[in-house]
Amino acid sequence: MAFRVGVLISGEGSNLQALLDTVHGRDGVEIACVASSRAGARGLERAADAGVETAVFAKAGHTDRDARDAALGNWLDDRRVDLVVLAGFMEILGGPFIRRFEGRLINVHPSLLPAFPGVRAIEQALDYGVKVSGVTVHFVDEGVDTGPVVLQEAFALPYARAVEEVEAMTHEIEHRLLPRAVRAIAAGRVRRDPSNPRVVRVDEPA
Ligand code: GRF
């Protein structure tokens, strides 16, 4: 039985593309479906090009956010996903959705959490003047980018750079780190420490 991954996007979908290129159809892992919060997102085309089923769950199409989240959750459950990946999903998901997928919902964030959670993380880091930045893949809990860290990777920012340049450096890491996290979870190599569930152990192959 394949390990089935649902990916949620809002825009470009370059992280989705990395998953399609390096994880999909390998080692028993399948990108089973892709949902966007926005019609016309470029990521929807990327999914369609790879033959992956897509749908749009815009808040405007539902009575409120909880109704949208419930419909999205039902759609993912109907597709029997084992893991839900937020890959540039730019909307807040409500508590009921997060509890429903607890432990099988991850996000990729363009900073070294807990520094610079929320939107415009790269701009926040540059404004602060940090000398090191990075990427975090974490389980999603009900806070804003506060869930247990699965993987992190840092890079040096020896002097102030243009946002676009740092975005490119960040993306390059994201496109490796997120697939690595998904592969590890799919292979059962990711465990929470029972004595401290914030601590996530990832066994990487030698
Ligand atoms: C990424 O930088 C990710 O960290 C953030 O949103 C961006 C999405 O980019 N959460 P893309 O849509 O995958 O190209």
As a three-state string, the secondary structure of the chain is: CCEEEEEEECCCCHHHHHHHHHCCCECCEEEEEEEECCCCCHHHHHHHHCCCEEEECCHHHCCCHHHHHHHHHHHHHHCCCCEEEECCCCCCCCHHHHHHCCCCEEEEECCCCCCCCCCCHHHHHHHHCCCEEEEEEEECCCCCCCCCEEEEEEEECCCCCCHHHHHHHHHHHHHHHHHHHHHHHHCCCEEEECCEEEEEEECCCC
Half-sphere exposure at residue 22, Cβ-oriented, CA atoms within 13 angstroms? 16
The C-alpha atoms of residue 125 and residue 156 are separated, in whole angstroms, by 12
Q: What is the mean pLDDT of each run of 10 residues along the chain (206 residues)?
A: 97 98 98 98 98 96 95 98 98 97 98 97 95 97 97 89 92 98 98 94 90
Ligand 1 centroid vs 9 CA: distance in angstroms?
A: 8
Query: Which residues, at least 6 apart from 182, have a Cβ–Cβ distance to it below 8 Å?
Result: 5, 19, 23, 29, 83, 85, 106
The C-alpha atoms of residue 71 and residue 74 are separated, in whole angstroms, by 5
Q: Which two tokens stand for residue 170?
A: 């960040």
Give the model's pLDDT for residue 192.
Answer: 93
Q: Is the CB of 11 under 6 A from ligand 1?
A: yes
Give the model's pLDDT for residue 160.
Answer: 66
Q: Relative to the CA of 135, which ligand 1 atom is closest?
A: 4
43 close to 13: Cβ distance less than 8 angstroms: yes
Alpha carbon nearest to ligand 1 atom 6, residue? 88
**Residue 103: CATH number of its domain:** 3.40.50.170
Going by DSSP bridges, is the β-strand pair 105-109/83-86 parallel, antiparallel, or unpaired? parallel
Ligand 1 centroid vs 159 CA: distance in angstroms?
A: 23
Give the orientation angle of helix 163-186 with respect to helix 14-22, to 10 degrees. Answer: 40
Indicate the number of domains in the chain.
Answer: 1
Q: Is the CB of 94 under 6 A from ligand 1?
A: no
Q: What is the pTM of this model?
A: 0.97
Print the domain residue range for 128.
3-202
Q: Which two tokens stand for residue 32?
A: 């089973």
Mutate to test the pocket of ligand 1, among 174, 176, 178, 182 (most ligand atoms within 8 A of CB): 174
Ligand 1 centroid vs 168 CA: distance in angstroms?
A: 11
Q: Relative to the CA of 10, which ligand 1 atom is closest?
A: 12
Q: Is the CB of 133 under 6 A from ligand 1?
A: no
